[in-house]
Structure 1
Amino acid sequence: LSFALPSPAQDEPYVVHDTKPVFMLGPYISSLSETGATIVWLTDTPCHAKVVYGPAGEPLDREADNAKHGLLPVGTLHTVHLSGLEPGHAYAYKAVATRVVKMKAYWPEKGLAVESPERSFTTFDRAKPSVAFSAIADTHEDNSRVADLLKAVDWPATEFLVHLGDAFHGVESEDQLVGRWLGPADRALAGSKALLFVRGNHEMRGSFARRVFDYVPTPENRYYYARDHGPIHFIVLDTGEDKADETNVYAGLNEVEAYREEELAWLERHLATDKRAAEAPFRVILLHQPDWGWTRDRGDEWTALANKANVDLVLGGHFHRLRAIEPGTQGNDFLAVALGQDQIAKVEASRTELKVTITAKDGSPVQSFTLKARR
């Protein structure tokens, strides 16, 4: 059925101005898996966005955008999820942003498109015989600390970088997010290595805290999830706050307890049903608070669940100095390590051995741990 009368006016061209946006940050990779990648970037003016990509060495003849509810978002922060990728394959990509000069109900006015330089990444692959990554924690907005730690990372041997939380004291603005962590990390990662960001308790504080996830998104749309790469099954957890919701300092604005109950239920389901969680040579939990955070005295339940799943390593930060809890010392069957504030953990795993090497930001050795596969 068609009741509409033809309207030649609707086909009149829209105005295109001779103006281009500028990339202010990125593109960077906020999530990586065996079959997908999440690309994020910032522009100086409102734009709509897409990513062109393809297997490395081939034309970038695939496109992905971020349309939602039938509309392309227009803004300065852009997120595009790539899916349908192959494990262990290298892909090249460019982020593309087209300026939108004036939004109107009819004939919005646009500008020109700009592309990022071509970047590349390699998807995770559980069949890979080995894996190596680096982790830092509790940088707390100290730009000199961030610079020293990023400079000390063994980048040729680092497949991805983990920040274990508390990059900030509290989060008040986008400028703070970019200037105190995302900007330096973006320059170090060069759009080719993923940044896995673990939320710390200080990222739950401040007027901009509710926007943090927008800058470190995952396709699961949550801070906790699982990944497989090489011989490791990774579980990223969000340990929330370190005090009860009813503590006056939060002024009744927190509902972390219910959130953590949902997370615990997810973890229990995941460990009971995910085949790789049971069969991987190693299971590693990445979190901020190695004591599971504030749980209303239910930390033993988290420990028991990790024990039941044969977790090998829990790696976090929070305490600002190195702490290690050896297996069997506090009801734990796994090694728990809290990374110090000015330290780097390099984790390397084969199918038979996992090694954690901790160094100071000047490169001097601090401590190392070696675990043998229990599978």
Structure 2
Amino acid sequence: MDAQDHRTAESLAPTELVDSPPVLMAPRSDGIEVVWSVTAPSRGWVEWLPGSIDPDTARAVERRVVDLDRYGFVPQGSRVIRVRIDGWDPGADYTIRTVTEAAADGHRQASDWKQVRTLDPSADSTSFVVWNDTHQRSETLQRLDDASPQADFWVWNGDICNNWNDPEEIAPTVLAPAGRDVTAGRPLSFVWGNHDVRGPWAYRLSEVIATPDDRPYYALRSGPVAAIFLNTGEDKPDDHPTFGGRPAFEQLRRVQADWLAEQITRPGFVDAPYRVVFCHLPLRWVDEPVLTEADYAGGDWDHYSRVSRDLWDPHLRAWGAQVVISGHTHRSTWIPADDDFPYAQLTGGGPEGWAATWIEGDADAERFTLIARRLDGSVLHEASFTPAGSVPSIR
């Protein structure tokens, strides 16, 4: 659609129709998905420009518009609007903004213009940032946002909430955490944690979260790093009475095992210099008791996901996974690869300011480095890997 038609946004009513920034999710080499929250039933679309064009001086005719969902509708919603953009070039810069139109009276609100860069699988280098276990702690979220640099992608590695007992908490928790524009300069790759699947409204989280293939496990290639994102589910069996019969993670783990077996053979993954897995529950831990039904009934829980590892480990070994990055334990821990497990395990810290961490990954042709930092910037763990599964160096 041409941006000169009735969906341009030159005159905006003062009513606040939008209550989040445009959130950049599911980065890919050929596009991204833009998600934002609204306060009333609305239609919405994304205007975009190539990075070489200044939006302040661009003519309306130069703006491209994405205003179609997969079912033939203008994207719309009563609380959240999502627009998927396809057909972009790898490693290219773009500028986007959202335009929202109230269904009731047609008044409009446009966001500020926002910069985004697509992933580039052929780039010589890449960077990413990881947060985990933020649990709706506003001060921690603000400090993480302040401390973390821009990156090619940002992994929010699970447990963004406590439980979803109120559906009205979902959109602001994801799209405007602590009132911040958290995807400015770092598009979001989301990982489900065990708390993210708890509560009677947890099934609605997927309405707000975008992933490349619209499922809670996926993969991406950015520069020399191939990354696989997996969903470890809950930290207790599906039939635990506190879950109310809602989970079916035993099945989902098996589905992911089948998908993983195929994914690791794909171009860009079978030959990747660096191979990283993101999942919320660790696949390894410092001690690994096998809990019984009585243990779970007494309030104990899995500190690592043995049930996931049993299914996925053969494929991770075959792929040559180098490191698994997780959260869950609220304890920053490094477990090196050993004779039993050829991949290392790194976990981030907890939601309190004194325990919170952020993890930075940087990779080029010679080395892939991971650094886990406290909020004050001090280093907790640092590890580096050479290409193709070489033994890491640890500091």
Per the normalisation by structure 1, the TM-score is: 0.86
Moved more, 181-190 or 319-328: 181-190
Moved more, 345-354 or 211-220: 211-220
Distance 1:79 1:180, change over 3 A: closer
**Corresponding residue for residue 275 of structure 2:** 283
1:368 aligns with one of 370, 375, 382? 382
Displacement of 1:207 in angstroms is 2.3
Compare the two structures and name the one with the higher strand fraction: 1
**8 Å Cα contact 1:66/1:79 also seen in 2:** no
- Aligned-partner Cα distance in 1 for 2:333–2:210: 30
**Corresponding residue for residue 154 of structure 1:** 149
2:39 aligns with one of 44, 50, 62? 44
**Corresponding residue for residue 297 of structure 2:** none
**8 Å Cα contact 1:21/1:47 also seen in 2:** no
**How many residues are treated as equivalent by the alignment?**
347
Q: Which is greater in Rg?
A: 1
After superposition, residues 141-220 of structure 1 pair within 5 angstroms as 141-155=136-150, 158-180=151-173, 182-184=175-177, 187-189=180-182, 191-220=184-213
1:80 aligns with one of 70, 83, 89? 83
Displacement of 1:182 in angstroms is 3.4
Q: Does 1:269 align with 2:279?
A: no
Displacement of 1:299 in angstroms is 2.2
Structure 1 residues 80-135: Cα deviation after superposition (integer angstroms, max 9, x where no partner): 0000110010011111111111xxxxxxxx42222111111110001211111111
**Corresponding residue for residue 242 of structure 1:** 235
- What is the one-letter code of the residue matched to 1:115? A
Unaligned runs of 5+ in 1: 1-16, 102-109
- Work out the percentage of aligned pairs sharing the same amino acid: 25
- Aligned-partner Cα distance in 2 for 1:370–1:126: 21
Displacement of 1:54 in angstroms is 2.3
Q: Does 1:127 align with 2:83?
A: no
Distance 1:297 1:363, change over 3 A: closer
**Corresponding residue for residue 342 of structure 2:** 333
Per the normalisation by structure 2, the TM-score is: 0.82
**Corresponding residue for residue 112 of structure 2:** 117
SS in 2 for 1:24: coil
**Corresponding residue for residue 326 of structure 2:** 316
Distance 1:297 1:94, change over 3 A: closer
**Corresponding residue for residue 225 of structure 1:** 218
- Aligned-partner Cα distance in 2 for 1:190–1:267: 28
- Aligned-partner Cα distance in 1 for 2:13–2:329: 52
- Aligned-partner Cα distance in 2 for 1:193–1:297: 32
SS in 1 for 2:164: coil
SS in 2 for 1:278: coil
Displacement of 1:327 in angstroms is 1.0
Unaligned runs of 5+ in 2: 1-11, 285-301, 351-355, 390-395
Q: Does 1:260 align with 2:253?
A: yes
- What is the one-letter code of the residue matched to 1:112? H
Distance 1:21 1:123, change over 3 A: same
SS in 2 for 1:23: coil
